[in-house]
Structure 1
């Protein structure tokens, strides 16, 4: 069964690299995401020496993982043993998991793990070689659209579909951290729904707080993805732009309420309105009931 439907919003906890290279922390984050009601967790996979230049990796950058940027980037990457453990743990809990590949070698690594989805990050959506290769994998794709105009989104969708790929969800996204209210543009969800009526549209948020993510449901988002952490004060580049366990709990409750409040659009008289109607209406001379 697909994670994505028009009936229920799929909530995705983007763990990304917030595990700080610790498998135990990653497992704890998965457990927390499952406990508060997330439907899926997502990770990121990079081949460090492909994604970053030697000069970039050699730059000084002190962290708990070493003294250089390379020490940090390599320390954040999980290998096959760790990913197998993540997959087994998610299967035991009953939560969906997948990851975003940032290069072809990482893509092949993830495909070999037979995950149910591959996420194309906003940074990769203009990488024709990568998205064509992902499309040909046969695994359904989730595509974020940060740093894109409509022409670029259309080109990515057409490229993926021409290569035989399936887009399970196309995410409206703004790649600023945090996104300012005037940059969020939730109406973009409606635009994507109009321009790509055959696709399901979601929202990948980077704003402070949770209100825009909840409001996205009213615009038709079938999935909400947010960066997730156990502690926003923890070391790591993405922690401060993530939401923590209490925020995720509140956001999911708000999403479920928003789904109910959105309704089906049919204008009707509700049964609970009828006694109010009998009490308050002085006349009914329209003859339409």
Structure 2
């Protein structure tokens, strides 16, 4: 289980993604739902279809299930683009409602827009870009904090990606990128320090929806042990249980898709939470986060009063005159627990009663 102070404060990213269906009114409503549910951030996706997919790129199987096969992936993406002006308005709306605006960029132009024009200080790297070394390098060189999703990846691929990011953080702009340079940057103390200064990994299963049998939450432990970085979970399962379980296991970030209506047309609605479920999940996450505590086994303040009632004490089984030897047949162990602890039972045996006791009276030896 992850053992890190970072596992104790959980950030919830409500992933609007493309569940706005390309419509401004739906996008603004998603921002409001995320804020009302208690999310820390609402996240969209920023892309230019022409830079993201070829005209002939196939849809993923889950996209075919949810949107059919007559429309190409390119056409679907084009329909789901958000304009720069709408990005600005959505960011302003999120900030007015007290939550962070985030987005994942899927091409270089979109990345520069998010950083240079919107001024985002934190970026989410989607799982599909983990092996896109040039794009990772661009992310690293922005200087923004990074949340890196690791769906579809092996541990070795994650390490290579971290090497690219470390190189982008510490190398001179004139230094030529290479696999060897990435490995060297990852191994360097300053590279490790740069990663720890602003990077969170998200465990993820890139299937929509992901089956519980494919979740493998223990991989969060593996990521944390291997890289000594904060680890969270990007949840693509149905329902809220896996996100709450991930928090109990130590996730410091939870990312979860949500929608206004799971029956709406679009690639991600069916695997998303509706508003009430999103709010319930966040409430449960906050409760579990508090319930994790500090790990020290000790009585909680609320337990002291219960202990006085639920625990037991040494009690006079019968009337006991002063001076009588206290024997097993004269001592009972009964509630309440406000008297002499039963741990002292053997110490009291054989002593003389210092005063008269009535049957049922707590001993004070």
CA RMSD of aligned residues (A): 2.4
1:138 and 1:10 map into 2 onto residues whose CA distance is: 21
Structure 1 ranges of 4+ moved more than 2 A: 4-8, 54-57, 66-72, 165-168, 276-287
Aligned partner (choices 207, 210, 213) of residue 237 of structure 2: 207
1:32 and 1:124 map into 2 onto residues whose CA distance is: 28
Is the counterpart of residue 22 in structure 1 residue 23 in structure 2?
yes
Aligned to 1:142: 147
Is the counterpart of residue 31 in structure 1 residue 32 in structure 2?
yes
Structure 1: stretches of 5+ with no match in the other structure = none
Aligned to 2:266: 236
Q: Secondary structure at the match of 1:55?
A: coil
Is the counterpart of residue 184 in structure 1 residue 195 in structure 2?
no
Q: Compared with structure 1, are the counterparts of its residues 152 and 285 closer, same or farther at alpha carbon in structure 2 (3 Å cutoff)?
A: farther
CA contact (8 A) 2:232 2:253 kept: yes
1:72 and 1:154 map into 2 onto residues whose CA distance is: 33
Is the counterpart of residue 82 in structure 1 residue 86 in structure 2?
yes
Size of the aligned set, in residue pairs, is 278
- Of 163-172 and 15-24, deviating more is 163-172
Is the counterpart of residue 173 in structure 1 residue 187 in structure 2?
no
Q: Secondary structure at the match of 2:147?
A: strand
Q: Deviations over 1:113-139 (max 9, x none)?
A: 211211100000110000001100111
Is the counterpart of residue 283 in structure 1 residue 351 in structure 2?
no
CA contact (8 A) 2:125 2:148 kept: yes
Query: Deviation at 1:5?
Result: 5.0
Q: Compared with structure 1, are the counterparts of its residues 102 and 269 closer, same or farther at alpha carbon in structure 2 (3 Å cutoff)?
A: same
- Of 37-46 and 266-275, deviating more is 266-275
> Under a length normalisation based on structure 1, what TM-score does the superposition of the two structures give?
0.89
Query: Deviation at 1:160?
Result: 0.7
Aligned to 1:251: 281
CA contact (8 A) 1:37 1:249 kept: yes
Is the counterpart of residue 110 in structure 1 residue 114 in structure 2?
yes
Rg larger for: 2
Q: Secondary structure at the match of 2:264?
A: coil
> Under a length normalisation based on structure 2, what TM-score does the superposition of the two structures give?
0.71
Q: Secondary structure at the match of 2:134?
A: helix
2:346 and 2:149 map into 1 onto residues whose CA distance is: 50
Aligned to 1:48: 49
Q: Compared with structure 1, are the counterparts of its residues 22 and 286 closer, same or farther at alpha carbon in structure 2 (3 Å cutoff)?
A: farther
1:212 and 1:148 map into 2 onto residues whose CA distance is: 20
Query: Deviation at 1:222?
Result: 0.7
1:194 and 1:266 map into 2 onto residues whose CA distance is: 22
Query: Deviation at 1:67?
Result: 6.3
Query: Deviation at 1:285?
Result: 7.1
Aligned to 2:251: 221
1:285 and 1:134 map into 2 onto residues whose CA distance is: 68
